[in-house]
Amino acid sequence: MEEVREGPALGGGMEEPSSTQELPSPPPPPSPPSPAAPETPGFPVPEQPTEAHAQQLLLQEWAPPGGSLELPPRLTWKLLFLQRPLYRNLLRSPNPEGINIYEPAPPTGPTQQPLETLGNFRGWHIKTEKLQQGLSWTVKQQRVDLLAEGLWEELLDVEQPHITVMDWYEDSRLDVCVYELHVWLLAADRRTVIAQHHVAPRTSGRGPPGHWVQVSHVFRQYGPGVRFVHFLHKTKNRMERGGLLRTRVTDSSVSVQFRE
């Protein structure tokens, strides 16, 4: 699956991604993510299943090819039941501004506030790239450590489950291209690129400004050695007299699964 389409609430339509002649290299590692928030006291801890029951539940839920999975000695089904490394979003703060993609992007005027003050951007490394004519890119990136999220080497190298990336950006009409997505699958050294995907869709000009456009890609048969996913997207801004007009983005995701 490799797709660029408009949001579900306002009708469909395909947009052609632009070709990338020279593939960029992955950027340096972003700042380490903030530590996870402590658990809120007062909530009951759900009862944990037995090892056999956890195995049964996860195999039914994950449906691996052949119906079974071999775990390395250091892992247990009970631990995997708690971590749930498959079929969940591995990105932190995927919707930092709390925007609903099933409605048009909420109207917003120019702002002079830093992006970090407009939501919960925990886990994102943010920077600005200046362009000409008052334009700029907001660059947000995360690096996902697949082993730290509960996956294991044999699964990634032998089974090679699909790695799916997905994003939604606002058709802000601030420029012809207001969004880019760059994803690298990296080896354990965090520099060797095993697979990559880059897309910079152009606006269709159809419908009112502010509708949502979905961008997605599935990595399949990427080869052994993948240990990190570096996710980076760029959104276009334009400086006005009253402040900065932004292109919003939401519901970013990186997930690993056996079926789409």
Helix (H, G, I), strand (E, B) or coil at 104: coil
pLDDT at 194 exceeding the cut of 70: yes
- Kindly report whether the global pTM for this prediction surpasses the value 0.85: no
Q: Check residue 97 and give its pLDDT.
A: 93
**Average pLDDT score, the chain:** 86
Q: Find out whether 212 and 171 touch, Cβ atoms under 8 Å.
A: yes
Helices (H) and strands (E) in the chain, counts: 3, 10
Question: What torsion, rounded to 10 degrees, do the Cα atoms 66, 153, 81, 36 define?
Answer: -150
- CA distance linking residue 167 with residue 191, whole number of Å: 24
- CA distance linking residue 139 with residue 130, whole number of Å: 11
Tell me which of 41-50, 74-83, 88-97, 201-210 is least confident: 41-50
The fraction of the chain above a pLDDT of 90, given in percent, is 68
Q: Mean pLDDT throughout 26-38?
A: 57
How many residues in the chain?
260
More confident site: 24 or 74: 74
Task: Dump the DSSP string for 179-219.
Answer: EEEEEEEE-TTS--EEEEEEE-BPP---SSTT-EEEEEEEE
Pairing assessment for the beta strands 228-240 and 162-170 based on DSSP bridges: unpaired
The model's confidence at residue 255, banded by pLDDT at 50, 70 and 90, is very high
pLDDT at 228 exceeding the cut of 80: yes
Looking at the structure, give the CATH architecture of the domain made up of residues 2-11+88-257: Sandwich (2.60)
Of 107, 133, 112, nearest to 210 by C-alpha is: 107
Helix (H, G, I), strand (E, B) or coil at 166: strand
Q: pLDDT for 2-19, tens place per residue?
A: 456 544 433 333 333 333
Domain segments of the chain as ranges: 2-11+88-257
More confident site: 47 or 101: 101
pLDDT at 155 exceeding the cut of 90: yes
Q: pLDDT for 231-240, tens place per residue?
A: 999 999 999 8
Q: Check residue 44 and give its pLDDT.
A: 52
Q: Mean pLDDT throughout 211-218?
A: 95
The model's confidence at residue 45, banded by pLDDT at 50, 70 and 90, is very low
Tokens of 161: 């489950």
CA distance to 10, 48, 82, 99, 127, per residue, from 220 (Å):
30, 33, 26, 30, 30
Distance of CA 244 to the CA centre of its chain: 25
Q: Check residue 13 and give its pLDDT.
A: 34
Q: Check residue 127 and give its pLDDT.
A: 95
Q: Check residue 99 and give its pLDDT.
A: 92
Find the angle CA(131)-CA(170)-CA(219) to the nearest 5 degrees. 90
Q: Please name the residue that has the structure tokens 């339509």.
A: 13
Residues 6+ apart with CB under 8 A from 109: 242, 243
Q: Mean pLDDT throughout 87-97?
A: 96
The model's confidence at residue 91, banded by pLDDT at 50, 70 and 90, is very high
Tokens of 221: 């048969």
pLDDT at 168 exceeding the cut of 60: yes
Task: Report the amino acid identity of residue 44.
Answer: P
